[in-house]
Amino acid sequence: MTESIIKQKVKYFQEPLFEEFRKDYCYVCYRRIKDNKGLYIGNSLWRHKKCKPYRIKIG
């Protein structure tokens, strides 16, 4: 493998036990979302408005 490949951090995240608590955690940074500053992505996933999902550039 070449050094130009971006090394990703391995993050371990435990899903909240109850479905209603899933909206409180960002799936990108895994931090708590406070004061209705989150965006609903779908499939019970939420993220901060400031967090941008990772994109992998191939080629």
Could you tell me if residue 3 is inside a domain?
no
For the chain, list the strands marked E by DSSP: 38-42, 45-48
Could you tell me if residue 14 is inside a domain?
no
Domain residues for the domain of 39 are 19-48
What is the tally of structural domains in the chain? 1
Percent pLDDT > 70 in the chain is 53
Structure tokens at 19: 């479905």
Could you tell me if residue 30 is inside a domain?
yes
Distance CA 29, CA 42 (A): 17
What's the average model confidence in pLDDT over 39-48? 86
Task: Output the pLDDT for position 5.
Answer: 53
Q: How many Cβ atoms are within 10 Å of 40's Cβ, its own excluded?
A: 10
pLDDT confidence tier of residue 44, bands split at 50, 70 and 90: confident
| Residue 55: pLDDT over 80 | no
| Residue 32: pLDDT over 70 | yes
Could you tell me if residue 6 is inside a domain?
no
Instruction: Compute φ and ψ for 46, nearest 5 degrees.
Output: -130, 155
pLDDT in tens, 7-21: 555 555 566 666 666
